[in-house]
Amino acid sequence: MFSKRKTKKSTMARKLITVSDMTSIPSEQYRTIRANIKFSQPNRDVRTILVTSSIAGEGKSTNAANIGVVFAQEGKNVLIVDADMRKPTLHHTFYLDNISGLSSVLSRQSTLQEVIQETFVEGVDIISSGAIPPNPTELLASETMTSFLAEVKDLYDIIILDAPPLLFLSDAQILSNKCDGTLLIVNTGVVGKAAVIKSKSILTVSKANILGVILNNYKIKGSTYEYYYGKE
Amino acid sequence: MNEEMTIQSLVKVMLKRWLLILMLTILSIGVALLISYFIQTPIYEAETQILVNQKSYENQQLVGAQNVDTDLRLINTYNVIIKSPVILAKVIEVLVLDTTPEKLMRQIEVSSANNSQVVNIRVQDENSERAVKIANTIAEIFKEEIPVLMHVDNINILFVAQNSEHPVPVKPNKLLNLIIAAITGFSLAMVLAYFLEKIDRTIKTEQDIEVLSLPVIGVVSNIEMPTRKKSRNRGSS
């Protein structure tokens, strides 16, 4: 029943599962994540959330987009920022272009209002990465970035930042310090324990508020989930 | 990791990599079969028995136990003499064998049951007929040589090795080889499986994360169903 429907889905649908199939298992899992984010820090107002991972290809952008969507589905005003200025992909997910974006704001070439793009998902706006700058780390570390975050906080309830991987690049580390909370994506069965430990220590050093880990590509054992949610 | 190697973990590893274990076991059995049938040359065995016994017991005053005792003590000496180059060189000469006494010595096994006056001479050879010939020749030459060497004549050939119409090789022992191969293959596979399990340090379950003292905020299953190619659903970052 499931596989039949999935095969007809486009690239977008697979990535934005929370839009294309709200009753699917992953959609339900994203709603759980949404609830856990809120409950994990009852004493803190977590509004800027950084999504990062140890290495590339663990599903940061996909998770950032879907988490943004589930918050929007709850009625929140959501902004997703592509803070990965080295390999931006967020605009692809939402079928938008990447002419100007975060890098334009940080280099003071554009204003915030100019770079915000509305998406086809209600309640979700995005800021793409913008042109790839030669000095992404410096831009993210700048005071402009801090004031940018303060500015968007006035406009949106939840701001999700899609960051580069933690290991080998300091971008995510810098950003994690500026954000209220950090989510670490772990690609199950691919990333080793040592890499995750290293990522954790990197985040600890930058005094990041680690909200928790999201295990991506998680293999569910047994059919409990399908029994509860699989039927429509 | 300080996980203990328990029966459960072994069984778990076994179930997880049963195919690898099965394949390795079958493979090693196959190799053993191949070696036993095609590479190892079959070895045949022939056995001659000689009896160490004084012919002149009845003529002597002291009969029985003491003489037998002497013979028994001699047997140890005989065992060495049979395998000595003195005898073997002659055997080679008589049979015109293309070998050396040292090599021939390795083909011969001399044994006697405890407190028995019977000495078994076992000869192994690639050729069954030659094995029989060597065994018998050794016995004969030994019988001839002993009066010269020891000044006693107490050797009788009890049993002469016979040529068999359908000689059965004693080596290689195919069944034994197979059993050894199966056990070796299985243990190797288990070690390998356990090793693979140990070196796989990737994170797979929520427990793995909790060990690193990180909170798990959620899990996301494969968005794609397993029927489709895995690589295509990798989230781009």
Q: Please give the radius of gyration of chain B, using alpha carbons only, rounded to the nearest integer.
A: 32
Inter-chain touch A215–B233, beta carbons under 8 Å: no
- Give the pLDDT score at B64: 61
- Other beta carbons less than 10 A from residue B30's beta carbon: 13
Nearest-angstrom CA–CA distance, B182 and B204: 33
Q: What is the CA radius of gyration of chain A?
A: 17
A162 closest CA partner among A16, A48, A50: A50
Q: Does residue A4 register a pLDDT over 60? A: no
* CA B234 to mean position of chain CA atoms: 54
- Min Cα distance A3 → chain B (Å) is 6
Instruction: Give pLDDT, residue B69.
Output: 73
Strand order, beta sheet including B108-112: B108-112, B118-125, B44-52, B155-159
d(C-alpha A126, C-alpha A119), whole Å: 7
Q: At residue B131, what is the residue type?
A: A
State percent of chain A over pLDDT 70: 89
**A76 or A17: which leads in pLDDT:** A76
pTM for the full predicted model: 0.62
pLDDT tens digits, one per residue of B147-185: 777 777 677 777 777 777 777 777 777 788 889 888 998
pLDDT at A9 over 50: no
Residue B141's nearest CA partner among B164, B115, B123 is B123
Sorted by sequence, the CB contacts under 8 Å of residue A50 that are 6+ apart come out as A83, A161, A163, A172, A175, A176, A179, A181, A182, A183, A208
Residue A127 pLDDT grade (very low, low, confident, very high; cuts 50, 70, 90): very high
Q: Which long-range contacts (CB under 8 A, 24 or more apart) does B125-128 make?
A: B125/B43, B125/B44, B125/B46, B126/B41, B126/B42, B126/B43, B126/B44, B127/B44, B128/B44, B128/B46, B128/B163, B128/B164, B128/B167, B128/B169
Whether A26 sits inside 8 A of B221 (CB atoms) is yes
Q: How far is CA A124 from the centre of its chain?
A: 12
CA distances A89 to A65, A129, B47, B109, Å, are 11, 8, 84, 80
Residue B22 Cα, gap to closest chain A Cα (Å): 24
**Chain segment A44-89, per-residue pLDDT in tens:** 888 999 999 999 888 888 899 999 999 999 999 999 999 998 888 8
DSSP A76-99: --EEEEE--SSS--HHHHTT---S
Whether B1 and chain A come into contact, CB under 8 Å, resolves to no
Lowest average pLDDT, out of B15-29, B51-65, B213-227, goes to: B51-65
Is pLDDT above 70 for B31? Answer: yes
Token reading at B124: 């192994």
Q: Give percent of chain B above pLDDT 70.
A: 84
How far is C-alpha A146 from the geometric centre of its chain's CA atoms? 18
Whether A40 contacts chain B with CB within 8 A: yes
Question: 């199939």: which residue's tokens?
Answer: A21
Q: Who contacts A3 (Cβ-Cβ below 8 Å, separation ≥6)?
A: B225, B227, B228
pLDDT at residue A53, as a whole number: 92
> Across the strands, what pairs with A184?
A52, A213
Q: In terms of residues, how long is chain B?
A: 237
Predicted pLDDT of residue B110: 84
If residue A130 lies in a helix (H) or strand (E), which one and from where to where? none
Decide if B115 touches A, using CB distance below 8 A. Answer: no
Neighbours of B96 (CB within 10 A): 6
Q: What is the mean pLDDT of residues A100-113?
A: 91
Greater pLDDT, B31 or A6: B31
Q: Which residue has the tokens 């690193």?
A: B212
- Quick check: A2 and B225 CB within 8 A? yes
Residues of chain A in contact with residue B220, where contact means CB-CB under 8 angstroms, are 26, 29-30, 33, 59, 63, 66, 214-218
**C-alpha to C-alpha distance for B36 and A86, rounded to whole angstroms:** 62
Of A60, A92, A186, the CB nearest to B203: A186
Per-residue pLDDT at B200: 76
Q: How far is CA A222 from the centre of its chain?
A: 29
Q: What is the pLDDT of residues B85-94, one digit of tens each?
A: 878 888 787 8
The complex's ipTM? 0.77
pLDDT at A5: 43
Determine contact, residues A20/A11, Cβ cutoff 8 Å.
no
Helix (H) or strand (E) holding B236: none
In angstroms, the CA A90 to CA A86 distance is 12
- In a 3-state reduction of DSSP, which class is residue A212? strand
- Assign B230 a pLDDT band (cuts: 50, 70, 90): very low
* The amino acid at B47: E
Specify whether the CB–CB gap between A226 and A232 falls below 8 A.
no
Q: Is the pLDDT of residue A192 over 50?
A: yes
Higher pLDDT, residue B223 or A73: A73
- The answer to whether A128 and A83 have CB atoms below 8 angstroms apart is no
> Residue range B205-222: average pLDDT?
83
Length of chain A: 232
B198 touches chain A (CB under 8 A): no
Q: Name chain A contacts of B215, Cβ cutoff 8 Å.
A: 40, 210-213
The residue of chain A nearest to residue B226, with distances taken between CA atoms, is A3
Helix and strand numbers, DSSP H then E, in chain B: 8, 5
**Angstrom distance (rounded) from CA A119 to CA A45:** 26
Whether pLDDT at A1 is above 50: no
pLDDT at B233 over 70: no
What are the DSSP E strand ranges found in A3-136? 48-53, 78-82, 116-118, 124-127
pLDDT (average), residues B42-53: 81
Would the CB atoms of A213 and B215 count as touching at under 8 Å?
yes
Residue of B2, B213, B220 to mutate, testing the A interface (most A Cβ within 10 Å of its Cβ): B220
Q: Number of A:B CB contacts under 8 A? A: 145
- Predicted confidence band of residue A105 (pLDDT cuts 50, 70, 90): very high
Q: Is B206 in CB contact (< 8 Å) with chain A?
A: yes
Option in A183, A192, A211 nearest B201 (CB): A192
Quick one: pLDDT band at residue A205, thresholds 50, 70, 90? Answer: very high
Contact A47, A179 (CB under 8 A): no
Fill in the DSSP letter of residue A230.
Answer: I
Mean pLDDT over A120-124 rounds to 91
Would you place residue B117 in the very low, low, confident or very high pLDDT band (cuts 50, 70, 90)? confident
